[in-house]
Amino acid sequence: MKHVILVCILVLAFSSCKEEGDTQTLYLAHTLPQGHPVHKGILEFKKALNKKSGGKMNVKVFPDGQLGSEREVLELLQIGSVAITKVSAATLSNFVPEYHVLGIPYLFRNKQHQFDVLEGEVGKSILEKGSKFWLRGLGYYDAGSRSFYTSNKAIRTPEDLKGLKIRVMNNQMAINMVNALGGSATPMAYGELYTAIQQGVVDGAENNPPSFVSSNHYEVSKYYTLDQHSSVPDVLLIGTKYWDKLTEEEKQWVQEAMDESVQAQKRFWNESVEESMATAKAAGVEVIIPEKSLFQEQSKSVLEAFMEEHPEMNDLINQIKNQ
């Protein structure tokens, strides 16, 4: 709690931006390390905005959770103390319900379908939904696809998940998915996971390749099954308290800079996946390419239950599936 109070005092002192002569400096906070491909995408955003504005708009980036967790920084955006942040769509769904849809297992047919949706009218409409919560989406960054990794038992079919404790984010969609596939979903803090796998508290977890390697979980997990059950993107957001103060020209600079950084970040992500998979294989991890349709069929109940519980989302889901 003391950390949160100190952060709030610090950020309120900053305000969401400052002006030095003719230059506005926007404060952008996120929780990722500086080597992460999303951070590299954010640096491209910073560079593009500075260039497009002729040096009139600059971005100061606070990585590594310096200003708090994803949820804490979202709240700082809402009160106008920070201008921009990057969060997972899973975290954002606690503020903007439409983002829940992006976590439905096997919603996207492939990567091309995912970004056709996210960068098209459907994706843009979801970004704008956050404005009523003071959180305006600027665009989506690639956060890859999440797959299962385990310590002692290979997962080749959904049957292999039976009886296994699988760590998941504290997110209802993720919990329902693992349980539907026959595993035992176990929400747990990410920082505790390495030791939990090592000591057998859980049998495994699920995440994308760069996270699997950067967390060193590959050291305690012998198997990585690329079932690619969910593809939840990251979202770059700007607080409406800051956005509404911008001129139309400044808004255009910000959006165009974001659009350029999205394309660059995709390249950074693909490079990171290749490097991460090479590292895991070199360490002796067995990479399994399963029959994905088996997992897709087994997890259909998650989509059906969600549509029954949230009928107001059905039109959105059908638009995505039919695109």
Per the structure, the count of domains in the chain is 2
Same domain, 65 and 200: no
pLDDT in tens, 293-307: 999 999 999 999 999
Spatial contact of 147 and 206, defined as CB atoms under 8 Å apart: yes
Tens of pLDDT, residue by residue, the chain (323 residues): 434 444 544 444 455 555 555 789 999 999 888 989 999 999 999 999 999 999 999 999 999 999 998 889 999 999 999 999 999 998 888 889 999 999 999 999 999 999 999 999 999 999 999 999 999 999 999 999 999 999 999 999 999 999 999 999 888 889 999 999 999 999 998 889 999 999 999 999 999 999 999 899 999 999 999 999 999 999 999 999 999 999 999 999 999 999 999 999 999 999 999 999 999 999 999 999 999 999 999 999 999 999 999 999 999 999 999 99
The CATH number assigned to the domain holding 167 equals 3.40.190.170
Indicate whether 118 and 137 sit together in one domain. yes
90 lies in the same domain as 239: yes
Are 223 and 241 contained in the same domain? no
Say whether both 77 and 129 belong to one domain.
Answer: yes
Kindly report the number of other CB atoms within 10 A of residue 33's CB atom.
12
Q: Whole-prediction pTM value?
A: 0.88
Contact 214, 279 (CB under 8 A): no
Check residue 233 and report its DSSP letter.
P
Q: In which domain, by residue range, is 301 found?
A: 146-228+277-322
Cβ 82 vs Cβ 70: under 8 Å: no
Q: Are residues 127 and 217 in the same domain?
A: no
In three-state secondary structure terms, 107 is coil
